[in-house]
Amino acid sequence: MSTAVSEVKEIGDMTVEEMAQSMRDFSREALAALNQRREEMYASAAAPLDEELTELAIEAADIATTMRDILERMAAAERVKRFEADQLIMQGENSQAQAKLRELAEAKAAPAKIEERRREIALRCDALETKKRAASHRAAEDFREACTVLIRGAETGLVNILDGTRDRLNHLEAQLNIPIYQPAELTAHEKSSEWATLHRLYSGRVR
């Protein structure tokens, strides 16, 4: 027996209340599955970005500590180096004095290099956050498109039921010569949440 026939037989064994509940359950579960897919899509894209952000945050904290220590020692170290250079100059050791001054220049350049790296980290963090927002946006767009396909399928199913019900009831009316088809009774009443949602969506469209 084919799968389609098996499914029809299973549905045929259901009560109408079970059929309706099955449709409600499917719509809820399908939406939950699509939302989970969105979360997984974003998590997959964000994971390596978050890992790099964590590494950069650790490095930035280390840089802040290093910078603070260097600046605290810099003033005293500069005085010592200049004093040593002056002593060497007075002793006629000009080459050694120049070496001391070069050491001083290198020591004073260290904070600038560290600050440059701090700026690089800040720029990279901004770029990573931008990538995370873009990943979130892509996941949201994918979710919206998937929901659109789901909703259009539900709309088609609803129209099939409504049209099929109309056709069959009209046929029965003609056979029995009694009024059976009552369109207003087929769908949710005007005070229901279903009617309010559909009315808001459909009436808000501009032809």
Cβ burial 190-203 (10 Å sphere, 16+ → b, else e): eeeeeeeeeeeeee
Helices (H) and strands (E) in the chain, counts: 4, 0
* 50 and 152 Cβ atoms separated by less than 8 Å: no
Residue 29's pLDDT band, with cuts at 50, 70 and 90, is: very high
Alpha-carbon torsion (122, 127, 132, 137), positive or negative: positive
Q: Domain residue spans in the chain?
A: 14-202
- pTM check: above 0.85: no
Express each pLDDT in 140-168 by its tens digit.
Answer: 999 999 999 999 999 999 999 999 999 99
**Phi/psi at 174 (5° precision):** -65, -35
Residue 69's pLDDT band, with cuts at 50, 70 and 90, is: confident
Report DSSP state, residue 14. S
Express each pLDDT in 89-124 by its tens digit.
Answer: 677 777 776 776 677 666 666 778 888 899 999 999
